[in-house]
Amino acid sequence: MLLAQVVGNVVCTQKDPHLTGIKLLVVQRVNEAGEVIGRHEVAVDALGTTGPGELVYLATKKEATHPFEGHFLPVDLAIIGHVEGVNIPDPALVRG
């Protein structure tokens, strides 16, 4: 799983019918210290309650489709949880 910050919304006039009713959000990956380490990407919101500014964790590739059982969705990045906080007791364990 990966950490990311939600930085915006995606609005589409047309999208795959299986994605109807599912929010698309712009996310930027961050490390455990909250520092930006990635580029902007689009993720589906498997929770349906996520908004800009939230810290989330992501599933990638085939695992990104698991929250949508019974449906094949053309996605490879999904928001699967909200992060309330990150606690790393030893700063030497933080990787960048």
Work out the number of other CB atoms within 10 angstroms of the CB of residue 23.
Answer: 18
CA-to-CA distance for 83 and 23, rounded, in angstroms? 18
pLDDT category at 70 given cuts 50, 70, 90 is low
Average pLDDT over residues 46-72: 81
Q: What confidence score (pLDDT) does residue 95 get?
A: 64
- Tell me whether strands 2-10 and 36-45 are parallel, antiparallel or unpaired: unpaired
Q: How far is CA 8 from CA 4, 28, 91, 94, in A?
A: 12, 10, 30, 27
**Domains in the chain: ranges and CATH:** 2-93 (2.40.50.220)
0.85 cut: is pTM over it?
Answer: no
Which distant-in-sequence residues (6+ apart) come within 8 Å of 17 by Cβ?
Answer: none
Structure confidence at residue 31 (pLDDT): 83
Alpha-carbon gap, residue 3 to 79, rounded angstroms: 10
